[in-house]
Every structure is written in structure tokens, then in C-alpha cells.
Structure 1
């Protein structure tokens, strides 16, 4: 027998004996560990049944002692008219123990001895009562008259809450709301106003505004409510600085929004900005916030290319001969071995790492407000900068605002409103981020066609990678090439200004006249950089796919528009007795729109590179 064969047989016999010995040692170790766990988990001296019964009796005794320290209280809650209040909250102070009143206004609650209970209901003043030695209570809640006297902004004017007949919800915007790291007002309305549905489907910088619906979907077409800012309708709510907002009112039903006509069919959102207070010293505020954005939940991307090809083999194993597999065993073995030493030619790319990044959000606002005996003012300047989680997705917004009100005499008041904003917006790839919503695109321009066996980019050769594995589709997608070469840029400027005059010749009568101008300028530039053909780094040859063609067009789009609005209003308000208010209003409004657009494009470039 050959000497080498004899030595090889001895080595294999030795290896088999070593494996058997190692397995015996492993099993013996497991038996020892199991014995230790069992010996520590069970004692030879088991507790007797008498001891178990004693422990049970002790536990029952402790529970009875705790119950003896509590008491059952009952009672009823009514208003000042003696009417039962249904659904009033009764909570033991300092705990989460509570209940609500039933249909007759009655309640029952188990509380600690000498506990205090808090009784509250919307529209009524909250009460705190110490139970002491009592077990029965008759509680009368008093209406919150201050809440009823609050003034709510409605269509072309204001009303006290107590006089409202339509469905109106209002919220005052304070520092707790504006201090949050938010990019726009629409997202900040989430959870603030009942009946307002706020849904956000993307966090793409510059296009992360939420969709708003009042009382659900009212039409299969555009169900967006009308937005009115300081009397100017059709204002983009996402271009307002949240720090400038003082209050927001939502007109939900037809009666409250009827004054705006058919545009208010889906409801109205009224936004009032800050104006400062009279007879106060100048107050300067500076707000700054910074936030970090990172995807928290997503599909895991399989960046192991040999494993992905193996899964393809498993899928094809049913009903297909092994010789007819698209991906051969040799391709998988070679990629698995060479990928550890030559990732340029045998990559396993994690595309999430290639096209995602940590997003940042920065918000800065400085404002000054104050006033004299007959004048009040508010001035602010703000900047918001957001870097999206997708590469090359950036959005910057600059805001300024100036509000002034002054009283010329006892009968005349005048004021002015001015605000402007400037935005710079850039993104890569598709208009909606990573997703290609164009169903007619059969070229595989979506993340589902991205395979890990493609090199994103080689900075030395300046080439974008393509499919290299034997049997792979040459139309496989390189997201980095698409997102890095396509970077449209948009610039937009807006200015809104208005002046008004109020005349009050006698008590209760007001004549109001205002004129407003809104100007908008929009510019978009698109110049996709040709990527050249997808490159095979293994063979050093071009593939058939071009992520951006050599003759990709260059285009510019400019849109300029302005709008003027003239409003006149006569209002008479008189109060008869203590409980009767009569209000009559006449409104005249006219608007004029003008829009001009220019588009230019070229397909063949003079300098394609």
C-alpha cells in the first residue's frame, strides 16, 4: 500500500477517535451541570404540607389587613342646576385608582382611609375633597366661566365660546408645543385637536408635511381643509414657523365654515400669529432645538450575496434539475471565498448603509414683542435646517415675520402683517424618496431590484458597479448610482403682506377693510449627471445598463404667481340683558390670481461629463 495512503488512514482514524472522545467529554460535562442544577433546585428537606398551609394563612391574613385599611365610598356628581353629570372622573389623589360616574351621575370607589379624591369634568372646575370619616358624598361641580368667556377665532371674526353654535375646536400654542423638534405646523397638530386626523407617510426632508382631514374623508377627490393664516386663505401651512403661531381654530361643520363658501367643504383651519401685548416692555426670546433622526424599523437587507444565491437555488430545487440552476455551485463558492480578500470584484453590499445616513434637524428662532399704550408689535426671524436620512436629501427654510397694531384714536385702528419665507430643497433619486411609484418603469428602478452583489462606486476608476455574477440579470439595480447622479434642486420664495383699518363710530358697530398681497416664486433645476454604462469589475467591461444616459436632459422650471385680496366687513354686536347677544355681519371679498410659468429643457449636452 502507498505510504501516503497509510499515513492518511492513520490520521483519519486518530481524528475519528479524538471526535468521539470530545463528544464523550461534552456529554459528561452536561450531565454534571444538570446534576448541579437539580441538586441546587431541590432540597432533601421538602416543606411539609403544614408549612404550606401556614404560608397560605399568613398571605390571607395580610390581604385582610390591607382591606381593613381601605373603605368603600359612594356618591353622586351634579351641576349647579342639579342635573346629573355622566362620565365625570373620580380619581384617588396620588394614585391611578379611579372611576367614572354612571348614567345617573353615581359612583363607587374603594380608597385608602383618609384619602383625597379629585373630581373633574370638561367645562367644569376641578374639585379635590378629603374623604376623612365620610363614606357618602354629594358633589356639585361649578362651570368654568373663564373657559366659556374665552374668545375663539372663527370665520371673519371672533366669538366667545359660550356663544358658539357651530362645531369649532381651538388650541392655544404655547412653548411646550413649539419647543418640540418639528419641521412644520401640520405635523405638530397631531393629537392637539379632536376631530382632526393627521397622517404622515414620509419623513423625507422638505416633503414631510402631514395630510390633514377633518371628520374623516369627505370626498373621493381633494379632501384637504382650507387653511387661512391671518385672514389670508390658501396659505401653505408647512412653510410657517411654528414659533410664530399663537392659536389655531378648526371649523368642522357647515354652519361654522359657511362664510368661506365651497372652498370650506372639507373644513377650515384658522391660524392666528403672534402680535405682542400692549403696555409691556420689549421681550426678546430665543428658541433653539436639535434632533437626530434614525430609522427604527425596516426590513432587514440581506447583504450576504452567496447566501442570497443559495436561497435562489433552494427555491429552484423544486421541479428543476440541478444542472439547470441559474446560479451554479461554483459561482457561489467562488464568491464566498474571494469576497473575503477582493471585495471590489466580489462585493456583498449593504444598500441601507450605502444610501442611508443619520438625519439631523435644527430649529432656531429669535423674536421680539412688546408695545406701548396704543401700539403692539411682534418681530421674528427663524431658520430650520433638516438633513434627511437619505443621502443628498436636504431642506433649509428661512422665515421672517412682522406684525403691528396701533390705535390712532378711539374710533380708528390700523395694522399691518408681513411674513416671508425662503426655502432650498434638494433630493436624490425619486420625488417620493426611495420608492418608485411609476408603475410603467420596467427597468428595475426600485430597491426591490437592488442585489448585494453590486459594487456601489469605485472612486479610483470613477465607475459605478453592475451585475457580475454568472447568470445574474444585467438590469440589476445600483441605488447609489441613481441617487448620487440625480439631484434636482428647488428654490422657492414667498411673501405675504396685508394692511387693515377698523372704524368704530359707535358702540357695537365696527367697519373693517383690509387689502392683502401674496407673492410666490418657484424655480427648479434638474441636471442629472451621466453615469456611463454599469461596469463589471471582474472582466473589466461595460454592461448594457445605463443608470443615467449620456444624453440625459437638462431642464429648468420657473413659476411666478401673485394673489391680491380685498375684504370689507360690517359687524354689529349688541347685548340685551344678561343672557342675550345679537350679532349681525355683512362680508364682501374679492380675489385675483395671476400665474406665469416657463419651462426649458435640452436633451443633447455640449459637455456630457
Structure 2
């Protein structure tokens, strides 16, 4: 019999016989041991899948990407066509992807062994791409070429040039924004840094016509882009193609009824990060304490009226972007016509900056007979850029705003800009000067194609390009430099 002893004193206590406590402790030890032994069993319960991937000819499909459907987990096929993958998800479905072949989804069986034969995607391999003066099928290509169709471009919003349209769309092509200002250019590098004295930008060829302003074309007018990345481009275009070649084919309309496309997009831009700056009281206290430590009189006596000005808030805004595109296309078996217009108005996050641009394009083709075809293209644009440096160098307005004294006001009582010790108001240094750039561009080209025999065509083309760039700066009397010059 098990007895329980109780002591009813001020300190309550229960005691359990030693035999019963020993059995209880032994049971706990056994449970802990079992759990400890089950840990490596649970860890080794992961499923490992192996297999081989081959093409239609039975050769190893080297470079095939093998991924799970429900989680971010994958591997690639080795030179022997084999792969090994430890599953992390629950669906047990693998995706096999290789450029030029159809993507396959395979459900893993009980054996955890998967063998796949990829099937060629003839629609992609038979695509015709432009290579210099002619065209080839992808299956016949030996050079390095990236082909981007109009449906794959980044369009709408703030996209106003080729660089923004192809960013992230062409393997091996680096696209970097040169500035965060509206209308800033994009640095496109195809073959790396080949020169330290001149530009590394590629050569632009629009509809067979070499253009110095090909990067500014309206992306909505592009039918496709071919980027020649290897040295073979130099064999066609000479030294000008040493940095790579970007071949742009614009839209010409399609046979059928008239098609009208309207693209409207609006957006906003704002600062994602704003540094924490001192307020007026904090700045005043620090400056006065520093002056006292140096044995100098305080800079701001008690009679000084302290303001709390956040100069960065005063100089920035939530900017709006408006992009409008309209195109009309029509055609039949012998004629094609495409007309388009684009308007973009982008205000900068930094006040006083912005871009306003108008573009227009006309493209036409006419088959005069079975052998003779005539083509013509016209492109015109005008843009006005309101500029300010978005960098924080010592000469830029942004540097003056970040280092301005927060204990002085922006304006006087009469609405004029407040000046302290004769220095320019940092907001006035941003808003008062005029720094504009107006660019007018027009180019036109005409071509004639005559098919001598099947597979041999004589192409005759010619064109001209006009560019007018005007830049103007004006410093008014509200600034110190303008007052000195009497402007």
C-alpha cells in the first residue's frame, strides 16, 4: 500500500515514498532517450531526388535549371546531364527549364528518380532576328545576340528611353542610371569598359540607320531590339561597333483593319529615406556650447529669434509623373502605316526640377511589286529639362540644404527670402536660378529593297539627322551672385 504523509503545520508539505519517485524518474529518462534517438531520424527524413536530363538527340542537356514548384529550391544539370536535389516542399513537382526548349513539369514518383527528355521549342528557335545587314534564324546563330520583343519591354510610368525599357531584360547588358534627376540618361554597357578616354556606349542603329540619339527613342514605338554583344559586330560596323551594337526595329503597322492604341499612366515619386537632422533649439545649444568651450562669445544670444526649419522638407515634394501615348496603325498586303505620338511630364522630387517631352513618329512600307519594296521613317522630338544636381557635392544645392542652419526662417515677414550674415538662403539657391536644357531632334530615312533572286536582296538606304541643343542658366538678383552682377 502507498501511504501519503501530511503535516498540518504552518509549513505545508507532502512527501512521496522513495520507490514511487524512483519509478517516475526512470520513466522520464526513458522518454528523453527516445526523443534524443528520434532527432537524427527526423533529420534524415528529407527526400533526395536524382536523375538525368537529355535533349531530343539523347545528349546531356547541360545547364538545365531544375527547381521545385512550391518553394525556392533548385539546382542545375552537370556536364553529364545528371542532377541531385534535396526536396524542401510538399508538392513533389519539379520544373525543368532550358533556353530554346519547352519547360517541363514532372511529378516525382516513389523511386525518387526522374529522367527527362527535353523537347525543342520550335517557335523560339525559328524566330528571325536582325544581325547587321541581314536576318537569321536563332537556330543558325553562332554569335552572341540578345533579342527583346516589344511585349517584353518595360513600358509606361517613368520609362522615357531605351535604357529603362531594356533594364533587366537582356543577359550580360549592364544598364545604370547616371542620375536620379528627371530625364537623366542611362549608361548602357554591352561589352564592358573598353575605353578610359571615350564613351563605352554601344552603337545605335534604328531601322538600318545609324543614329547618335537612338537611346532617346520612344519605347512604345519599338517592335523589337537586337543587341550584338560579341566581336563579330565590328566586322559589320567597323570600329564604331567595338562597344556592341543595339539594332532597333520600329513598328510599321500590320495588315488588317485600323488599330488605335492609347496608353495612359500616372505615378508618383517620393523620397524613401530622409536623414534625421537637428532642430533649431538643438543646433543653437550646440553652437553656443562650442563657442563657450573655445572662449568665444555665443553665436546666438537670448535675443535671437530661434526658428525650426527643416530645409529638406521645404525643398522636396511628392512628384507626379504623367505619360501619354497614342498610336494608329493600318495596312493591307502591300502597304503598312504607323503613326504615333507621346507626351511625358515628370516633376522631380527636388523642387525646381522636371522633364517635359513630346515625340512623334511615322513609319511606312509599300510593296511596289513582287520584288521592289519602299520604306520610310520619320521621327521628331522636343524636350525641355529643368535641371539641378541631385548629388551631395559641395557645389550642389542639396549639400547646402543638408548643412543649412535649422534655427533661421525661410522667409522674412514681407515674403522675401531670409538672409543670415549676407549668405544666400539655401532654398533660394535651389529655386531662384534658371537652369534649363532644350533639345530638338529630327531624323528621317528612306530605303529601297530589290530582290534580285530568291535569298539575295539589294538594299539602298539613306537618311539625315538634325539635333539642336540649347542650354541656359540665369542667376537673379535674389541671390548674392546675381546682385553683384546687377542681373
Matched, 1:549 2:473: no
Within 2, Cα distance between the matches of 1:366 and 1:401?
Answer: 11
With over 3 angstroms needed to count, the CA separation of the structure-2 counterparts of 1:223 and 1:291, relative to structure 1, is same
Using structure 2 for the length normalisation, give the TM-score.
0.84
Find 2:417's aligned residue among 445, 449, 464. Answer: 464
Within 2, Cα distance between the matches of 1:130 and 1:444?
Answer: 58
Matched, 1:505 2:481: no
Within 1, Cα distance between the matches of 2:33 and 2:186?
Answer: 58
2:206 is matched with 229
Which digits, 9 at most, give the CA deviation of each residue in 1:435-469, with x for residues without a partner? 5576xx9x9984455222333233x53432122xx
1:423 is matched with 383
Within 2, Cα distance between the matches of 1:423 and 1:114?
Answer: 54
Within 1, Cα distance between the matches of 2:165 and 2:475?
Answer: 35
Within 2, Cα distance between the matches of 1:332 and 1:76?
Answer: 82
Q: Is this contact kept in 1: 2:391–2:398, CA < 8 A?
A: no
Matched, 1:85 2:61: yes
Matches within 5 A, 1:224-303: 224-278=201-255, 280-302=256-278
Find 1:220's aligned residue among 185, 190, 196. Answer: 196
Within 2, Cα distance between the matches of 1:489 and 1:113?
Answer: 60
Instruction: Tell me the SS of whatever aligns to 1:263.
Output: helix
RCO greater where, 1 or 2, for CA within 8 Å and sep 6 or more? Answer: 2
Find 1:350's aligned residue among 297, 307, 310. Answer: 310
Q: Supply the RMSD in Å over aligned alpha carbons.
A: 3.3
Q: Is this contact kept in 2: 1:531–1:550, CA < 8 A?
A: no
Using structure 1 for the length normalisation, give the TM-score.
0.68
Instruction: Tell me the SS of whatever aligns to 1:223.
Output: coil
Matches within 5 A, 1:39-438: 71-111=47-87, 115-174=92-151, 177-206=154-183, 208-221=184-197, 222-278=199-255, 280-302=256-278, 304-312=279-287, 322=293, 324-325=295-296, 327=298, 331=300, 335=304, 338-339=305-306, 347-427=307-387, 430=388, 432-433=389-390, 435=392
Instruction: Tell me the SS of whatever aligns to 1:178.
Output: coil
With over 3 angstroms needed to count, the CA separation of the structure-2 counterparts of 1:79 and 1:175, relative to structure 1, is closer
With over 3 angstroms needed to count, the CA separation of the structure-2 counterparts of 1:314 and 1:269, relative to structure 1, is farther
Give the deviation of 1:475 after TM superposition: 6.2
Which digits, 9 at most, give the CA deviation of each residue in 1:261-314, with x for residues without a partner? 222222222222112222x22221111111110011243333x13312433456
Within 1, Cα distance between the matches of 2:326 and 2:30?
Answer: 71
Q: Is this contact kept in 2: 1:445–1:477, CA < 8 A?
A: no
Give the deviation of 1:99 after TM superposition: 2.9
Which segment drifts farther, 123-132 or 513-522?
A: 123-132
Matched, 1:454 2:417: no
Give the deviation of 1:108 after TM superposition: 2.7
Within 1, Cα distance between the matches of 2:353 and 2:177?
Answer: 18
Q: How many residues align?
A: 461
Which digits, 9 at most, give the CA deviation of each residue in 1:378-412, with x for residues without a partner? 11111110011121212111111111112111110
Instruction: Tell me the SS of whatever aligns to 2:452.
Output: coil
Within 2, Cα distance between the matches of 1:484 and 1:74?
Answer: 66
Within 1, Cα distance between the matches of 2:90 and 2:39?
Answer: 17
Instruction: Tell me the SS of whatever aligns to 1:217.
Output: coil
Give the deviation of 1:324 after TM superposition: 1.4
